[in-house]
Structure 1
Amino acid sequence: MVYFVGAGSGAADLITVRGQKLLTEADVIIYAGSLVNPEHLEIAKPGCEIHDSASMTLEEVIEVMKRAEGEGKMTVRLHTGDPSIYGAIREQMDLLDEGGIYYDVVPGVSSAFGAAAALKAEYTLPDVSQTVIITRMAGRTPVPEKEEISLLAAHQATMVIFLSTGLLEPLRERLLAGGYQKDTPAAIVYKATWPDEKVFRGTVDTLPQMAKENGITKTALILVGDFLGDSYERSKLYDPAFTHEFREASKTES
């Protein structure tokens, strides 16, 4: 049996209870060494076989899984954040399907949500944005043409931009071309929820400057949108003048 487990956004105690339990039971752990907090490995049982996938190919990872399966061992494939976001798990699952190996997926806390917590922000503010776009800039790995940053920026929704810290100059230009104003609020969150987390606030125009002045070149998220501003409408759910399934609107006194 193979379990794909989301390790969470950084802090060791942000892994799910289920994921933590599986780590204590695993016979083999394959973890993304360049990103996953090594504290997770401290709870592995004695004799657990541990592999750092940072230097491994897909085929090498699958070979370890197949060998463990043949020996009747349980494997945990430990991914950073939530494995469904830039986790490259589909290609692993397809090869396991071909080999007739059963697997399960345990979700985790994405750094997208760790960053919101660091900012003490809400992505979906009434009358500001009800949509969150999770994306990245095209770099050595391309993105589909229809998902070019300026096209997504045209929606003026909340944007959470991964894997783009080293591309902030072109990112700024694409955001502006898409319709964001220079003074649109923006932030950089470095290593969200890790002990050395850092938060920098500014605007779309100052994104490259913020990163340069603070030496941020990787392992950071870019957050863009008016959800970082001060104006929003109150939620209808808790508005005393709003009726819904569980509460009648309060009557105003004459």
Structure 2
Amino acid sequence: MKVYFIGAGAGDPELLTIKGMKALEQAEVVIYAGSLVNPEVLEYAPQAEVYNSASMTLEEVLEKMEEAVADGKIVARVHTGDPSIYGAIQEQMDHLKKVEIEYEIIPGVSSFLAAAAAVEREFTLPDVTQTVIVTRMEGRTPVPEKEKLAKLARHNASMAIFLSVQMIEDVAAELAKEYSSSTPIAVIQKASWSDQKIVKGTLEDIAEKVKEAGINKTAMILVGDFLDTEYEKSKLYDKNFTHEFREAQSE
């Protein structure tokens, strides 16, 4: 028996991968991040015992996994988005390895990707930026000094900021140290959920707009010129550009 770490996607239950769905269908025990995972995802595991990890400690989660595997049961540990980003799964995997329990990671659609889809923008635009920075503002969980928001902002790259909308004034102030105050920014609450909410603005006015919209949690902050700018067309489909699979067309 084994434990599956499953990325449940950003919210829309149809964003669960086929592989994740199949793992849930065979799971006999499901431990899910109840504060963030859409409960509709659990409908893929109607026969399973279900535990909400929002009210559990790490030790309780690990104990439940060990008990289930010892009983010959398949466990699905369900995280929101993709579990490799702010999923706190490394400590779980390290423990399972220590006690010799087999596990597998099934990736999912992260909320920063669903947020880009919601605002219909591409993070990597030719001649604008080819870099995406995924980060968070320092809160109760510290960040290394070299990763402070203002220092990352020096790159003027596309940025996706997790777990920080409750500090939107501070976020905007830190970003404005390096980005222009007119830089576009978007806040997407519950990207891909049925009650998704989008607020757009600039670093100058986004804090006020977010407060007016009543957004203070479960939101992604996207910032960068990719949100609203002119750009060069990609070379990938340029008729004058040769690559491995296509010769340039002559005029």
Match of 2:9 in 1: 8
Long gaps (5+) in structure 1: none
TM-score (norm 2): 0.98
Which residue of the partner structure matches residue 66 of structure 2? 66
> 1:116 aligns to what?
116
Cα distance in 1 for partners of 2:97, 2:179 equals: 44
- Alpha-carbon deviations, 1:149-189, whole Å to 9, x = none? 00100000000000000111111111011x10110011000
- Distance of 1:88 and 1:122 partners within structure 2: 28
SS of the residue 1:189 aligns to = strand
Q: Which letter does structure 2 place at the counterpart of 1:2?
A: V
Aligned residues: 250
Q: Match for 1:88: what amino acid?
A: A
Q: How far apart are the structure 1 equivalents of 2:144 and 2:75? A: 33
Q: C-alpha offsets along residues 199-244 of structure 1, whole Å, 9 cap, x if unaligned?
A: 1111112221121110000000000000011310010111111111
Partner of 1:217: 216
- Taking the TM superposition and a 5 Å limit, the aligned residue runs for 1:25-40 are 25-40=26-41
Does 2:248 match 1:249? yes
Tell me if the contact between 1:189 and 1:197 (Cα under 8 Å) persists in the aligned partners: yes
Q: Report the secondary structure of 1:30's partner residue.
A: strand
* Counterpart for residue 19 of structure 1: 20
Equivalent position SS for 1:173: helix
Contact 1:25 1:45 in 2 (8 A): no
Alignment of 1:235-246 (within 5 A): 235-246=234-245
Q: Spell out, residue by residue over 1:94-140, the C-alpha distance to the aligned partner (whole angstroms, 9 max, x if none).
A: 11111111100000000011001101110000000100000000001
Residue 51 of structure 1 aligns with an amino acid whose one-letter code is Y
Identity of aligned residues (%): 57
Residue 43 of structure 1 and its aligned partner are, at CA, apart by 2.5
Structure 1 segments (4+ residues) deviating >2 Å? none
- Residue of structure 2 equivalent to 1:104: 104
After superposition, the CA RMSD in angstroms is: 0.8
Query: Which residue of the partner structure matches residue 199 of structure 1?
Result: 198
Shift of 1:89: 0.2
- Alignment of 1:163 with 2:163, yes or no, is yes
For the 8 Å contact 1:26–1:45, the answer to whether it is kept is: no
